[in-house]
Homo-oligomer: A and B are copies of this chain.
Amino acid sequence: MTPAQIDAAAQRLKGHARVTPLLNAPLLDAAFGKRIFLKAECLQLTGSFKFRGAWSAVSALPPGTRGVLAMSSGNHGQGVALAASRHGLTAVVVMPADAPQVKIANTRAYGAEVVLYDRATDDRDTLAASLCADRGLTLIKPFDDAQVIAGQGSVGLEIATQARDAGIDAAQVLVCCGGGGLSSGIALALEARAPGLRVHTVEPVGFDDMARSLASGTDQRNATTTGSICDATLTPTPGTLTLPILHRLAGPGMTVTDDQALHAMALAFTHFRLVLEPGGAVGLAAALFHPTSDPVICVASGGNTDPASFALALSRFA
């Protein structure tokens, strides 16, 4: 992948995705003794950075494309639904039948047809493949796709500009990491535009496939993909496109506990007046609770959390 692909994606995103602000909070800086900057991607359309990659991929499809399909019960599905709908394309989102009702309803409200499957009896990949074949749909992968990575890279282009405007030319950039689409896109953009800014992936403790893969240089797997509240970051293993990029440009990876993520959510409530989801708060958690650079930049990747999780974070840590 080249910087030109990210620039091209950013051009296609212009006027369609939001340029999100890079925020800081004087009292938080004072309390933690360092300057902490937050890239507020929770303010992106659909509430997460996933809209960027989805738009980038959908807008790069050849003329005559009938529609798209995504397999996601979360932010990727919502991003693809809205991006497709705004391109006048059909979107089918394959979700488990036991996904939260609000996620199903939101994905439909963004314009997608939701196809439900039974986790116990259906094979998701087979179902998706047959839908694609029968209806002529194009699969939009969540991270292991060059156009998706290029779209997420537009976050890095904005960070490069915003950091320069804030007088920052060297810092750690802490990015939540599932399959690595966001972190690899940002790393590529920063290599080209702000080489003093270095990406570190952040994952929940126990789900640090990327940190271990970066350390070993080979693809590592998580033992499970359930058991952390940071559901947005729980992928089994790094992508085949993303790992080589991150191995060259990023790391070492960091990990945070669920409690640290909840604590970061509470501090984001107080100091940034932002709603972060647990997986979207791990970058801030790493900035707060690990030794990091001063200044440090963290990416708040999404804000789609349920009221109960948010109230829990407030009751325990605000």
- Chain A contact residues, CB within 8 Å of chain B: 18, 21, 23, 26-27, 30-31, 40, 42-43, 45, 47, 82, 106, 109-110, 266, 269, 272-276, 303-304, 307, 310-311, 314-315, 318
Contact = CB atoms under 8 A, between A and B. Distances in A.
B303 A307 contact: no
Contacts of A318: 307
B23 A43 contact: yes
A82 to B, nearest CB: 7
A275 B42 CA distance: 12
Contact of A275 (B30, B269, B307): B269
Given A21-B43, A307-B315, A315-B307, A30 B274 contact: no
A43 B22 CA distance: 11
A168 B315 CA distance: 41
Contacts of A30: 109
Task: Tell me how many chains of this kind the complex includes.
Answer: 2
Contacts of A106: 27
Contacts of A47: 273
Q: Is chain A's binding surface mostly helix, strand, loop or mixed? A: helix
A311 to B, nearest CB: 5
Contact of A315 (B23, B274, B275, B311): B311
A303 B271 CA distance: 9
B307 A269 contact: yes
A12 B210 CA distance: 46
Contacts of A43: 21, 23, 40, 272-274
Contact of A274 (B23, B82, B109, B275): B275
Contact of A310 (B40, B110, B269): B269
Contact of A26 (B18, B27, B45, B276): B45
A18 B23 CA distance: 9
A304 B30 CA distance: 18
Contacts of A315: 307, 311
A292 to B, nearest CB: 22
A193 to B, nearest CB: 22
Nearest to A317: B307
Contact of A311 (B109, B274, B276, B314): B314
Nearest to A111: B26
A134 to B, nearest CB: 29
A275 B266 CA distance: 11
Contacts of A26: 45, 82, 109-110
B307 A314 contact: yes
Q: Interface centre among A23, A27, A45, A273, by most B CB within 10 Å?
A: A273
Contact of A314 (B45, B82, B109, B310): B310
Q: Interface centre among A27, A82, A307, by most B CB within 10 Å?
A: A307
Contacts of A27: 106, 109-110
Contacts of A23: 18, 43
A276 to B, nearest CB: 8
13 contacts: A18-B23, A21-B43, A23-B43, A26-B45, A26-B109, A26-B110, A31-B109, A42-B273, A43-B273, A269-B275, A274-B275, A311-B314, A311-B315
